[in-house]
Amino acid sequence: MKKILPAAAAMLTLAAASSPSSAQQQFEPARKLQIAEAIIENFYVDSVNADTIVQEAIVAMLKTLDPHSTYTTAEETRALTEPLNGNFSGIGVQFQMLQDTVYVIQPVAGGPCEKVGILPGDRIVASNDTAIAGVKMPQSAVMKRLRGPKGSVANLKVVRRSEPDTLSFRVIRDDIPVHTIDAKYMADPTTGYIRISSFGAETPQEFIDAYNDLLDKGMKNLIIDLQDNGGGYLSASVDIAKHFLPSGSTIVYTEGLRQEPQFFFADSRKPALTPRIVVLANEYSASASEILSGALQDNDRGLVIGRRTFGKGLVQRPFPFPDGSMIRLTTAHYYTPSGRSIQKPYVKGDTGSYGNDIMDRYKHGEFSSADSIRLDESLKYTTLKGRPVYGGGGIMPDVFVPIDTTGVNKYYREVRAKNVINQYVVKYVENHRKELQRQYPQENEFIDRFDVSDSMMTDFSSLAQSLGVEPDSAQITECAPFLKLVIKGLIGRDLFTPSTYSRIVNPINPIYKEALRIINSPQEYNSLLSNQK
């Protein structure tokens, strides 16, 4: 018979003998949890893992709260925080898994791999004598092999197309920057474009560096692209907003049951930056994206163009455990300068319907027509200039742009889902890199002159069929213009920079096109900002 641990025995005795005083009743829930764990650990018919029991109990408790209070394991916590903290330690390559092999897209500029001579197109087949190619290793496991403490060594075996023998490289791991500015370029002679993928610790500095670079190129107007940006650090969005608002302007404030209102103001000693601003947003723009959008909208400092944003108006505070796991607990609501909460409705404990909200919006027709959006007049607020804005479910754009699904048919969705596009691009660039670099030494030359040919599309269709996507000539013809543009953008990204992809694909994005039109129409822009229709 299994021995009962002394602590457990004492706890069980205490449970049986306790008298229901008010103090004991106050702490009863916590004591019940401890006692339940001890009972399971000591009396359950089979062996149990105490860590798993406690972890599942924490998860179950948090599920009874709001949808954004969560528990993450140590590994999950690292995966979530590394992209936001600005760096991690590793070898410094952008890679894709292609047919069970690590294919190098680009070494990180100035990183360990670039320093030792690893090139785009190289295939990493082993790290420290452990094979990572041809062994069906998950990508997460590959990343563990390539990452490691700063100063540690990764002895890599590399296959290079132009070399008959496997190459060996001794790579000393270092801090690798994680960039959150996906793209920056001049959209026209006076309009700059900056895409922010998330709000991390280094985003404000990255942003101002990009801004100053575009300013040197003649920028007078600015498009900030927050489409699909799920958020990040509140402080990062606040720091960016400060650059564009007069000192003393409210950016956002937070308030909770156990937290006094905390206001964030623009406090720059320098004059606020003054370009015309348009923010691009859609249904996947959330949290910190909505803070920046709301601050510019409520202060009448810029226009929001696109579709209603996600609607996350809750602030989470991290509570780390010694083992590296973490609870992210909602401790406050945040409010835009006009006083509106943009948190969409939820039922405590019901994460299912909350998670289906985006699809419900789509089915209701909200992505196609602004008239389908339900606005609660009781949640109506006004901007500084008296423009109506609404709370209770995301940031409503000043200019609505319906979704465009042209070319996104069944065939396109299948080749995306089965990663055919990326695999084709990787193989094409691998086979034609030198030829492409010779023909298009400059990014502008590639953008202006390169086209995806019909023979390339035939090869693409053959690859797709080999990967389980049956050819359908009508469907292929329908999606070909869009598919060709995506392929061209990805080839350009591999040859040049992530901005190349945006420069190629953005011109067919309806939200981008409308933003570019309005920002270059001062009368219409100013009329929209001043509530004069």
Catalytic residue among 69, 237, 285, 287: 287
In three-state secondary structure terms, 303 is: strand
Residue 286 in contact with residue 231, Cβ under 8 Å? yes
Q: How many C-beta atoms lie closer than 10 Å to residue 10's C-beta? A: 12
Q: Which burial class, exposed, middle or buried, applies to 103 when counting CB atoms under 10 A from its CB (0-12, 13-18, 19+)?
A: buried
Coil vs helix vs strand at 280? strand
Across 309-410, the runs of DSSP E, i.e. the strands, are 314-320, 326-335, 380-382, 388-390, 399-400
Number of other residues whose CB lies within 10 A of the CB of residue 325: 18
**Which position among 298, 357, 398, 494 bears the catalytic label?**
298
Q: What is the distance between the alpha carbons of residues 150 and 315, in angstroms, rounded to a whole number?
A: 32
- Is residue 298 part of the annotated active site? The answer reads yes
Q: How many residues does the chain have?
A: 533
Residue 359 to residues 94, 352, 354, 363, Cα–Cα distance (Å): 32, 12, 10, 6
For residues 34 and 11, give the distance between their C-alpha atoms in angstroms, rounded to a whole number.
Answer: 8
Q: Are strands 388-390 and 181-188 parallel, antiparallel or unpaired?
A: unpaired
**Rounded to the nearest 5°, which phi and psi values hold at 511?**
-65, -45
- Helix 473-495 crosses helix 454-466 at what angle (to 10 degrees)? 100
Q: Is 359 exposed, middle or buried (0-12, 13-18, 19+ CB in 10 A)?
A: exposed
Structure-token match 């699909």, residue found: 228
Identify residue 258 by its one-letter amino acid code.
R
d(CA 283, CA 294): 14
Report how far apart, in Å, the C-alpha atoms of 193 and of each of 226, 281, 428, 492, 518 are: 11, 14, 29, 18, 14
The number of beta carbons lying within 10 Å of the beta carbon of residue 7 is 11
What the block records as the tokens of 354 is: 């909350």
Q: Which of 37, 27, 28 is nearest to 57 (CA)?
A: 37
Task: Give, as one character, the DSSP assignment of residue 239.
Answer: H
CA atoms within 13 A on the CB side of 179: 17
Give dist(CA 511, CA 401) in Å, integer: 6
Residues recognised as catalytic: 287, 298, 312
